[in-house]
Structure 1
C-alpha cells in the first residue's frame, strides 16, 4: 500500500473554508435567504499569523480576535487594506484606548459603562489624529441568562440602547450573543430566535439605528443561527482546527 503524503496546512484550511461556505449556503437556502447576506468571520484567536495569511490568500477578509493585545500584534504584522478585524471578546474599560478605532467592528459592548469608556477613547483618538472617527459596535446580549456569559439582559437592552445613542462616536449596528454549549444545536435555536426577535423589537423602538447585523453562531451551531437570521457567524475550529499556541508575529 502506498502511503499518501500528509495534507498541507494550506490545503487543509482551503478544504475547511470550502466546507464552511457550502454549509452556510445550504443553511441560507433552507431559510429562503441569499448566502451573500452572511459574513463569515474566521476566528483567529490563538492561531499563528501563518494561518491568517493562508486564509487571507484563500479569500477570507474578516478575522475575529478575543484579546486586544494579541489582535494588535497581528494587525501590526499583517496589514492589507481590505482585511477587516473584529473584536469578539470582552473589552475591559481599561483597554478601551487600545480597542478604539482599531477594529472594523467591536461585537461585545455589554453595558453603558463599557460604551462610555469606548466613546471617550474614540473621542481622544479623533482629537489626536484630527479625524472624525466613529466605532461600529454590536450590543452583546446574554439571551440564555447563563451566569458564565458576558452580556446585558434582553430586558435591560432598550434602556442601554437609549443611553448609548447619546454617544456620538459610537455607531450601533446590531446585536451579538454567545449561545450555550450543547450537544445538539437544535437546543440553542430558541436563543438565536430570541435575539432576532429582540432586534426586531429594538428596530421598532429605535428606527434611527441601523439594526443590520445579528452576530450569532459558532462552529457547533452556525447553520441553525443562519436559519434564525444571523448575518455574521464566528467560526474558528471548523476553519483552523483546535486551539494552538500563538507564535510571536513579526512586524511588517
Structure 2
C-alpha cells in the first residue's frame, strides 16, 4: 500500500524540486546534454486529492497518476487546471474512455486491447493527446510492456501519435544496474525515430538522464 501524504508543504516541495533540477543539470553535464530537455513529472499517487493545488503552487507543472479513479478525482480539484496531467500506471483497456478526456499523454500503452479502445473512443481524446509505448526491455516476467521485437508492429497499429517509449527496469539496489536497460530503451527509440524517453524514478533518475531520459517520474524525491 502507498502511504498517501495528507498535508503538502508547497515551500518544501519547491525546495526539493530545485534540488532535483540541480541533480538533473549535473547528470546532463556529465552526458553533454541540455537540462532543459528533461521534464520532471510528479507521481501524484503519493498525494491526497485535496492537496493538488499546492503542487502547482510549488512549481510542479507535470503530474502523472497511476489509477483512473484517482485521476478523475484529482483533475476535478480546484487548481488542477494549472497542471498538465498524464497517465503513468498500468492501463486496463476498459478504463481508456475514463482517462482520455483528462490527459495529454499516456505513458503505458502495451496491449492491442488498449490500442483498439484508443481507436474506438478517439472522439473523447484531448486534441494534444499522444502516447508512449511501454517496453519490457529486460524481459522480466513480472513487468508489463511489449517485447522490443514487437515495437514496429505496435507503432503501425497505434491509432494516435506515438511520442516515444517508457520502461521500468527490474528492481535494483544500485542505480548503475539499471543503466543497461535505460541505454537499451534509448537505442530502441533511436532505431524508430522516437524522441521521448520516460524512464527513471527517485532511486535511479540521474543514471536515466545520463542515458537519455527526457521525462523522469518522481515521487518521494519531491514529496514525503
TM-score normalised by length of structure 1: 0.81
Name 1:108's counterpart in structure 2: 108
**Residues 131-159 of structure 1 deviation map (CA, whole Å, 9 limit, x = unaligned):** x8463100000111111111001011111
Distance in structure 2 (CA, Å) of the matches to 1:54 and 1:100: 24
Give the match for residue 171 of structure 2.
181
| Aligned with 2:205 (options 198, 210, 222) | 222
1:98 matches 2:92: no
Aligned mates of 1:50, 1:12 — CA distance in 2: 17
What residue is the counterpart of 1:43 in the other structure?
A: 43
Report the more deviating stretch, 211-220 or 43-52: 43-52
Using CA pairs below 8 Å that are at least 6 residues apart, which structure has the higher relative contact order? 1
> 1:152 is paired with a residue of what secondary structure?
coil
Unpaired runs of 5+ in structure 2? 1-7
* Residues 101-137 of structure 1: CA deviation (Å, up to 9, x unaligned): 31011000002321111221223x37xxxxx846310
Aligned residues: CA RMSD: 1.8
Aligned residues of 2:46 and 2:219 also touching (Cα < 8 A): no
Paired positions, count: 217
Unaligned runs of at least 5 residues, structure 1: 1-7, 127-131, 204-210, 242-252
Match of 1:163 in 2: 157
* Structure (1 or 2) with the larger CA radius of gyration: 1
Aligned equivalents of 1:34 and 1:51: distance in 2? 32
- Which residues in structure 2 correspond to 1:15-164 (within 5 Å)? 15-123=15-123, 125=124, 133=127, 135-164=129-158
- Matched with 2:189 is 199
Per the alignment, in what secondary structure is the counterpart of residue 13 of structure 2?
A: helix
Give the Å deviation of 1:54.
Answer: 2.4
